[in-house]
């Protein structure tokens, strides 16, 4: 894991043991329609989700792979914003997700009570940039 991960996620509680790259790639290819958000995939291999403080002021709970499909079904993402896959929350009313299109990824924050393109806040095009913004309360 990179030093930036270690500094941003210094008190991180991971939910499970590390996963194999082949398993993570397999699940993410299903969830993201044959493409893989690499930084997020690397995080999931190491942590498979988890929760805790992020940076100085942020907080996040990223769901384990086993919960991704059910959580997105529960929040009705497919009809609300088809290109959005939620990957976690701020522990409250904000969802964290990835909008994927043409093998490109945008990390976003969106209110769970109003998932739409009009309420999306863009947090970057890679996972490290995104968690850095969560850690400084910029998404």
Q: Where are the alpha helices (DSSP H) in the chain?
A: 3-8, 21-31, 38-47, 65-74, 77-80, 127-135
pLDDT tens readout for residues 44-102: 998 899 899 998 899 999 999 999 989 999 999 889 899 999 999 999 999 999 999 88
pLDDT digits (tens, 9 = 90+) for 94-137: 999 999 988 899 999 999 999 999 999 999 999 999 999 999 98
How wide is the angle at C-alpha 49 spanned by C-alphas 69 and 87, nearest 5°? 45
- CATH number of the domain bearing residue 98: 3.40.1580.10
Q: Determine the structural domain holding residue 80 and report its residue range.
A: 3-135
> Which pLDDT score is estimated for 74?
94
- Spatial contact of 62 and 91, defined as CB atoms under 8 Å apart: no
Please tell me the total count of domains within the chain.
1
Confidence band, pLDDT 50/70/90 cuts, at residue 7: low
Q: What is the C-alpha separation between 77 and 84, in angstroms, rounded?
A: 7
């Amino acid at each position: 894991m990179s030093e930036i991960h270690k500094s941003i996620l210094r008190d991180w509680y991971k939910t499970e043991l590390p996963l194999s790259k082949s398993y993570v790639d397999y699940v993410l290819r299903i969830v993201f329609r044959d493409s893989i958000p690499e930084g997020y995939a690397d995080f999931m291999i190491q942590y498979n989700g988890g929760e805790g403080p992020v940076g100085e002021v942020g907080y996040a709970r990223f769901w384990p792979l086993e919960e991704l499909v059910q959580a997105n079904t529960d929040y009705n993402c497919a009809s609300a914003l088809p290109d959005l896959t939620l990957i976690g929350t701020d522990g409250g009313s904000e969802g964290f997700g990835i909008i994927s299109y043409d093998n490109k990824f945008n990390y976003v924050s969106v209110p769970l009570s109003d998932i739409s393109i009009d309420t999306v806040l863009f947090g970057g095009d890679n996972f490290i940039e995104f968690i850095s913004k969560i850690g400084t309360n910029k998404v």
